[in-house]
Structure 1
Amino acid sequence: MKNSWKRVWLGGLVLGISAVTLAGCGNKSSDQSTSSEASSSKVKGDVKLWVDTDHIAAIKGQVAKFEKANPDVNVKVKAGSSADALKDVSKDPDKAADVFMMPHDQIGQMAEAGLLYPIGKKQVTTIKKNNVDSAVQGVTWKNKVYGYPYGIESQVLYYNKSKLSANDVKTWDGLTKAGKLGTNFAENGTNYIFAPLFMSNGDVLYGQNGENLDGTNFNNQKGVEVLSWIAKQKSNPGVVQTNAAALANLQSGKIDAFLSGPWSKNDVKKALGDKMGVAAYPTVNFGSGDKQMKAFLGVKVYGVNQQTKSPLAAMALADYLSNEKTQEVEFNKNGVVPSNKQAQQTTKVKTDVVAKSVMEMSDTKHSVVMPKLPEMTTFWPPMDSLINDVYKGKIKSTQYQEKLDKFVTDNAKKTK
């Protein structure tokens, strides 16, 4: 997977939550930031900005426009890694960038560690008004907003239109009867793809809002049904276990479809050309009727360093780099699907098959916003093991309840 999201979530296992010790740096209140925000309409100061290397070209043009409108602000753009925002900022917040790209799932840990500047009420109102609900949820932690959303990301279904019809891919059964779906049930990384099956069947992960440590309820009959369904896929002739070789297998015709995200768009286009089809996830029948298969939703975010010496300038820059026009630039140059409602309505976005499917996936029916709890770092390995072992038959059906009980119990343990 070219995209950084999965590397971020697993990377947290190495970092743990040591950054939480930085909480002693102090946590500026939203009231403080609001009063500062409202006290002056003219911003000034030096601002260091970290953006992913492949975004620099697009962002530099927007920064130039921002500086022209704010002549007393000087912005220095440097290459950074959104995937490593938590790690890089926590090393030395005073020397880190004032504004930086980051994935939304790091917000909980960074907010708890005192690394993120809470956003003032005026800008919060603008963020909530202009962005889709899932993006707003992604940047909200304990009822405060800690980031500026500039894009949304979800997996979709890519398929060969010469082998499968739009009707075939509406259901898992129809898809795997009409063709072959290449996907990963047996190796590391299956957690990101198939953990949302539990939510597809009505269960919740860390509660309804993703912030309740003991709110996971996978250990019920619905959870057992999910594991039973996973086990059956081993003998489904329309399901081909494939992971890193998915694109090669798609091009060779060994498989006719696979699940991936916008990061695979160009590669799939090279492999299939005009035969490339894209759709939202199909429905799945766990035994009690069709349910919409869900995916995890990620939100691309600009965060503001709580230790910034130029908070007004930093927040103004983050706000500008996440506005409608900048999101349009990011889509046109980097394929980032906008979170801004108006940007989503532009002709280029609405007629792009990948963007259209991602936007469809962004509603609550199709996706679950990735929880922001620091404990998500300990969720991934056991979920991988559970799905892998059930698929391979190492865990028998009589053990499903026991394994789910243990998973839920362990999942509710607070990280140290």
Structure 2
Amino acid sequence: MEDIEMKKNWRKYVSTGVVLSATALLLAACGSSSSSSSDSSKTEDSSSAKVSGDIKLWVDTEQVDMFKPIVADFEKEYPDVKVELTAGSSADAKKDVSKDPSSAADVFMMPHDQVGQMADAGLLYPFTETKFADSVKDNNVDSAVEGATWKDELYGFPYGVESQVLYYNKSKLSADDVKTWNTLTSKGKLGTNFGDAGANYIFGPLFMSNGDVLYGDNGEDLTGTNFNNEKGIEVLKWIASQKSNSGVVQSSTEALANLTAGTTDAFLSGPWSKNDVKKALGDNMAVAAYPTVDFGHGETPMKAFLGVKLFAVNQQTKSPVAALTLAEYLSNESSQLKEFEEIGTVPSNKDLQKNEKVTSDAVAKAVMEMSDTDHSVVMPKLPEMNSFWPAMDALINDTYKGNIKESQYQDKLDKLVSDISKTTE
């Protein structure tokens, strides 16, 4: 055991040393000019340095064609950089990069909830003390910057935000009807999932809606979860009460089919369902932020988990300045606009969120409303979230089904908090 720990510490020390030495040169290069930089592998005077290098870029398979013209424009602006654009999987970023970091892409897409694991494993290039950090902080909404940050270090370039919203049939429900859970489920039928796998993602944030925190205020405190209090018990009571709510139709994989058939009038999902809902409801499709809920103290916004889409740089890149410059370019305002227009990615760029093309899109408008702190919580990046998901699913499912009695709520919450606060290897 002692030998294993020594190896872990040695790897951490070596990887940190590599980044520190490269970052020192990067800082020198970035400080020379706002328009030119030097790769960390170069030692020439930074005033004459250029952004150069061969860069491998991974984007999601279905987005390769969209990024081809963006990459071509980048290469025109930076003729000393050659970009190899290939298909990858943002969802599998940690798995794919960790297989062999030295041969993995220099720049790749990733979801923000993998930042903690990848940063601690020495897979991501930190750039807090560079001009690129200023660009990220100045141009993106605060929640997106939070998603790109781990232990006060910036590791990613946000290019989109993602949250669940409420889709509904406006021939059955009005905009006022969907403002509160009570009116939504008394005047219509909501298809949603309390009883099957996946309830964790939809209803786990209810605890934060009622004032509790998951892994502390910043989502990085392993022992900072406080669901096992009176507020947490109130949430479980509310979940249990939904079993007898005639306006709630338990719907998991069949949620969209129920909406199409008219069995339900609304359901909770994300931007990824936009085209399917449009097909199901046609001109009757409407979108709104989540309704408010009442845990016994008055109406409060029902929160959702917020996801942030990032471009990140491989810590082992041989051309960090070129890689960081490309990541910045792929996530700038014009690139985010193209990504929104072509695939519907809701931008994280502050100015673009005010663009009429974005604000006139009902789904984007609802997601942007959900992205503020009143309506969402940035999904924690701690590796221990792997323990949270199954434990939260079991708690919500069994509470809804009545398998857990009210007298057991405190013990079940105590166990949940204990289980998700254990360090994972």
TM tier, shorter chain?
over 0.9
Contact 2:182–2:293 (CA under 8 A) maintained in structure 1: yes
For residues 305-363 of structure 1, give each alpha carbon's deviation from its aligned partner in whole angstroms, at most 9, with x where no partner exists: 00001111100000000000000000000100000011112111010000000000000
Aligned equivalent of 2:297, options 270, 285, 288 = 288
**Pair 1:258-2:267 in alignment:** yes
Equivalent residue for 1:4?
none
Aligned equivalent of 2:249, options 230, 240, 253 = 240
Contact 1:98–1:314 (CA under 8 A) maintained in structure 2: yes
Equivalent residue for 1:372?
381
Equivalent residue for 2:46?
none
Which is further off, 32-41 or 204-213?
32-41
Distance verdict in 2 for CA 1:389–1:283, change over 3 Å: same
Count residues with an aligned counterpart: 398
Aligned equivalent of 1:154, options 163, 166, 173 = 163
Which amino acid counterpart does residue 387 of structure 1 have in structure 2? Answer: I
Equivalent residue for 1:38?
31
SS in 2 for 1:247: helix
**Pair 1:313-2:322 in alignment:** yes
CA RMSD of aligned residues (A): 1.4
Give the Cα–Cα distance (whole angstroms) in 2 for the partners of residues 283 and 31 of structure 1: 49
Distance verdict in 2 for CA 1:67–1:355, change over 3 Å: same
Give the Cα–Cα distance (whole angstroms) in 1 for the partners of residues 178 and 264 of structure 2: 14
Equivalent residue for 1:186?
195
Contact 2:117–2:381 (CA under 8 A) maintained in structure 1: yes
Give the TM-score taking structure 2 as reference length.
0.92
Give the Cα–Cα distance (whole angstroms) in 1 for the partners of residues 30 and 408 of structure 2: 56
Equivalent residue for 2:176?
167
Equivalent residue for 2:227?
218
**Pair 1:107-2:100 in alignment:** no
Give the Cα–Cα distance (whole angstroms) in 1 for the partners of residues 225 and 130 of structure 2: 32
Deviation for aligned residue 1:55: 1.4
For residues 126-158 of structure 1, give each alpha carbon's deviation from its aligned partner in whole angstroms, at most 9, with x where no partner exists: 111100000000001111100000000000000
SS in 2 for 1:95: coil
For residues 373-416 of structure 1, give each alpha carbon's deviation from its aligned partner in whole angstroms, at most 9, with x where no partner exists: 11111110010000000001110000000100111111111112
Which amino acid counterpart does residue 87 of structure 1 have in structure 2? Answer: K
Give the Cα–Cα distance (whole angstroms) in 2 for the partners of residues 339 and 311 of structure 1: 24
Give the Cα–Cα distance (whole angstroms) in 1 for the partners of residues 165 and 25 of structure 2: 41
Equivalent residue for 1:403?
412
Give the Cα–Cα distance (whole angstroms) in 1 for the partners of residues 408 and 254 of structure 2: 32
SS in 2 for 1:219: coil
Equivalent residue for 1:91?
99
Give the Cα–Cα distance (whole angstroms) in 2 for the partners of residues 154 and 75 of structure 1: 31
For residues 104-132 of structure 1, give each alpha carbon's deviation from its aligned partner in whole angstroms, at most 9, with x where no partner exists: 01101111011000114211111111000
Contact 2:387–2:419 (CA under 8 A) maintained in structure 1: no
Distance verdict in 2 for CA 1:397–1:311, change over 3 Å: same
Deviation for aligned residue 1:35: 3.0
Give the TM-score taking structure 1 as reference length.
0.94
Which amino acid counterpart does residue 30 of structure 2 have in structure 1? Answer: E
Give the Cα–Cα distance (whole angstroms) in 1 for the partners of residues 405 and 69 of structure 2: 57
Give the Cα–Cα distance (whole angstroms) in 1 for the partners of residues 27 and 176 of structure 2: 51
SS in 2 for 1:398: helix
For residues 75-125 of structure 1, give each alpha carbon's deviation from its aligned partner in whole angstroms, at most 9, with x where no partner exists: 010000000000000000001000000000110111101100011421111
Structure 1 unpaired stretches of 5+: 1-18
Equivalent residue for 2:4?
none
What is the percent sequence identity of the aligned residues? 67
Equivalent residue for 2:73?
65
Which amino acid counterpart does residue 53 of structure 2 have in structure 1? Answer: G
Contact 1:20–1:110 (CA under 8 A) maintained in structure 2: no
Aligned equivalent of 2:280, options 264, 268, 271 = 271
Equivalent residue for 2:44?
none
Which amino acid counterpart does residue 35 of structure 1 have in structure 2? Answer: A
Give the structure with higher Rg (CA).
2
Contact 1:20–1:109 (CA under 8 A) maintained in structure 2: no
Distance verdict in 2 for CA 1:404–1:69, change over 3 Å: same
SS in 1 for 2:31: helix
SS in 2 for 1:374: coil
Which amino acid counterpart does residue 182 of structure 2 have in structure 1? Answer: D
SS in 2 for 1:299: strand
Equivalent residue for 1:346?
355
